[in-house]
Structure 1
Amino acid sequence: MQHFPTRIFPRVIALAMLFTVSTVCAQTAYPTKPVRVIVTFAPGGVTDIATRIIAPRFGEGLGQAVVVENRAGAGGVIGADAVAKSAPDGYTLLSAFDNFASSPYLYKSTPYDPIRDFVPISLLVRSRPVIVVNPKLGANSFEDFIRVAKAKGSALNYASAGGGTSSHLIAELLKMTAGIEPTAVHYKGGAPAITDVLGGQVEMMVATISIALPHVRSGKLTALAVTSASRTALLPGVPAVGEFYPGFDAQSWIGFLAPAGTPREIIARVNAELRRAIASPDVKSKLEAQGFEIVGTSPEAFGEWIRNESTKWSRVIRDRRITVE
């Protein structure tokens, strides 16, 4: 049996301790410079507003500035691809909107895989879209609307914020579920879409609560149902589609992701600071004023959410033969 000089052991122990301390320091040092968050849509949109509400308090927790950068184009694909190709060091993060899970099935040339090329950090907020109609349609309840829609067939029109957006896909899921066939009229954004619903040029829309709520409260639009499994406190008197069709659940959401390969220690730190930020009273109240419900999940739970969303929307896109150029 070979014996080593006893004087070597103190050196080995010292080196091991030095390595451990160095590793811990490297992990706890993050971040040492500003963190960039990519928003995949133009300034002023839902994702941009929510991200900019969260960013200052998130930065305070990290001890570094958080810079929000808009990289719009191709339904969010351009910005998401930029993050996927960034260094996995925690300094470039993605603020993803709900279409993140559906884009690969809509755009044939999507250069990334939403599951393989990203690490989920946290599902931060959700919003339950609401089905609204112009009062002139004569549908005062969800059941009334389904009867009218079945009678009118494709002569009934619905507005969407654009092909492939959640307002489009949720309406198509409703069509599949309820057996109705209203015709889609696509707009460049939710604002012009709901303007035409208000004017009566289009009868119906699946809209975000933030854009629809003022018009519902003023009586200019009728809220028929929220497109989730359960009701929302923002419209407690409005039923959920899931009450009529069990299992129906379609919500808008925003969550943060990082490039694949980002160290777990960094993911854990970012997750903790994001959850702390959205739970702070000032941030929480601002987000709720925009129609968001605070969530704040673990990375694992967000990963499962994305997988379920991908499965659901890939089926809708395939069955409805939806394509976006």
Structure 2
Amino acid sequence: MKRLLTAVTLATMALGAAAQNYPDKPVTIVVPFAAGGPTDKVARDLAEAIRKPLGGQVIIENVAGAGGTLGHTKVAKASPDGYTLLLAHVAMATAPALYRKLQYDALNDFEYLGLINEVPMTLIARPTMPANNFAELAKWVDANKGKINLANAGLGSASHLCGLLFQQSMKVDMTTVPYKGTGPAMTDLIGGQVDLMCDQTTNTLSQIEGNKVKAYGVTTTKHLSIPALSKLPTLDEAGLKGFNVTIWHGLYAPKGTPKAVLDKVNGALKTALKDAEFHKREEALGAVIVGDARVNPAEHKKFVEAEIAKWGPAIKAAGQYAD
């Protein structure tokens, strides 16, 4: 018994010493999607901004596959020492409903570090769509029930999730057309092969600015300050009461990571979120930096719990699952 207590004491002391010296080697932020996408861009911008306040090198590792769940699993099972972190988006809240079997528990296998940003979404259509505003689009949808194609970037993607809520809010079933990424979905929308799509401003802004698609509204409850989108109504005020969808990003560590390490990472994150260059880069993506209580671990987790409660019923009602 004495030997066991001694071993535990030594282990605790070792963890404490390691936490005090953290970080003494590079910190890896796992991105659960391929390089080049919106989440990868956010991670690389954050890595640059958080490096100085954290006091060490930060590198990005892309672990793509299975709708992001492979990357989540890798971090959930990583050593809880603060050297492997996860930057994840709304999939943290939607995967529990989308996937029948997950190798991690979204609420219990991670330490929540803070929310980073929120990315608004826009409802867009092919350029040949006859409707010129949301009221006209609603009439067109009503007149074309059973013939409407709604594109998305794949199961679990932001466009898929927004499309689910859009159909439920409109009380109309549309033919969902999943693509392997936003690129091919946008190409077919511009070409008129599909009718509608709801996607992040990071993917739609340039197309709207170039008049390559028609835009009908933003998914936030407030108007956006982005010049090309500032005159668009919110879908809430356009008639879809309560419609509010953003694609957010948060930072996580494996469960059991020492509190001293978590506190240091959270402090560095808060400093990074005030970095002028980081703001500039995120604004170029159409993202809004979080500046409220959700940058704190407890409020971050409460927010994700609410998101799980919001998305779970919508996904289950649609009956669209992945193995």
When the two structures are superposed, what TM-score results if normalisation uses the length of structure 2?
A: 0.90
After superposition, residues 188-203 of structure 1 pair within 5 angstroms as 188-203=180-195
Structure 2 letter corresponding to 1:252: I
After superposition, residues 34-45 of structure 1 pair within 5 angstroms as 34-45=26-37
Deviations 1:288-308 (A, max 9, x none): 111111115111221111111
Please, which of 271, 277, 290 is the counterpart of residue 272 of structure 2?
Answer: 277
Structure 2 letter corresponding to 1:61: P
**CA 1:145–1:25: 2 relative to 1, 3 Å:** same
Deviations 1:146-167 (A, max 9, x none): 2211211120111101122121
> Which consecutive residues of structure 1, in runs of 5 or more, have no partner in the other structure?
1-20
CA positional deviation for 1:276: 1.3
**What is the Cα-based RMSD across aligned positions, in Å?**
1.7
Distance in 2 separating the partners of 1:25 and 1:149: 63
CA positional deviation for 1:29: 2.0
Residue 207 of structure 1 is matched in structure 2 by 199
Answering whether residue 113 of structure 2 is matched by residue 121 of structure 1, we say yes
Residue 60 of structure 2 is matched in structure 1 by 68
Distance in 1 separating the partners of 2:302 and 2:322: 26
Residue 57 of structure 1 is matched in structure 2 by 49
Q: How many percent of aligned residue pairs carry the same amino acid?
A: 35
When the two structures are superposed, what TM-score results if normalisation uses the length of structure 1?
A: 0.89
Please, which of 236, 255, 258 is the counterpart of residue 263 of structure 1?
Answer: 258
Structure 2 letter corresponding to 1:300: A
Out of 39-48 and 237-246, give the one that drifted further.
237-246
Distance in 2 separating the partners of 1:22 and 1:193: 51
Residue 241 of structure 1 is matched in structure 2 by 235
Q: Which has the larger radius of gyration?
A: 1
CA positional deviation for 1:98: 1.3
Distance in 2 separating the partners of 1:156 and 1:300: 42
CA positional deviation for 1:24: 7.4
Structure 1 letter corresponding to 2:156: G
Please, which of 85, 91, 96 is the counterpart of residue 83 of structure 2?
Answer: 91
CA positional deviation for 1:229: 2.1
3-state DSSP of counterpart to 2:113 = strand
Contact 1:133 1:205 in 2 (8 A): yes
3-state DSSP of counterpart to 1:252 = strand
Distance in 2 separating the partners of 1:108 and 1:214: 36
3-state DSSP of counterpart to 2:209 = helix
Residue 122 of structure 2 is matched in structure 1 by 130
**CA 1:23–1:49: 2 relative to 1, 3 Å:** closer
Contact 1:150 1:179 in 2 (8 A): no
Residue 166 of structure 2 is matched in structure 1 by 174
Structure 2 letter corresponding to 1:181: D
Distance in 1 separating the partners of 2:15 and 2:196: 57
Contact 1:230 1:242 in 2 (8 A): no
Answering whether residue 322 of structure 2 is matched by residue 324 of structure 1, we say yes
Contact 1:54 1:283 in 2 (8 A): yes
Distance in 2 separating the partners of 1:242 and 1:119: 34
Structure 2 letter corresponding to 1:38: V
Contact 2:111 2:252 in 1 (8 A): yes
3-state DSSP of counterpart to 1:129 = strand
Answering whether residue 191 of structure 2 is matched by residue 224 of structure 1, we say no
Out of 198-207 and 226-235, give the one that drifted further.
226-235
User: Paired residues, what number?
Assistant: 305
**CA 1:34–1:133: 2 relative to 1, 3 Å:** same
Contact 1:90 1:266 in 2 (8 A): yes
Distance in 2 separating the partners of 1:143 and 1:305: 32
* Ranges of 4+ aligned residues in structure 1 off by more than 6 Å: 21-24
3-state DSSP of counterpart to 1:249 = coil
Structure 2 letter corresponding to 1:199: G
> Which consecutive residues of structure 2, in runs of 5 or more, have no partner in the other structure?
1-12
CA positional deviation for 1:232: 1.6
CA positional deviation for 1:83: 0.4
CA positional deviation for 1:22: 9.4
Please, which of 105, 121, 142 is the counterpart of residue 97 of structure 2?
Answer: 105
Out of 306-315 and 296-305, give the one that drifted further.
296-305
Structure 1 letter corresponding to 2:242: G
Deviations 1:47-82 (A, max 9, x none): 111101110221121111111101111001111001
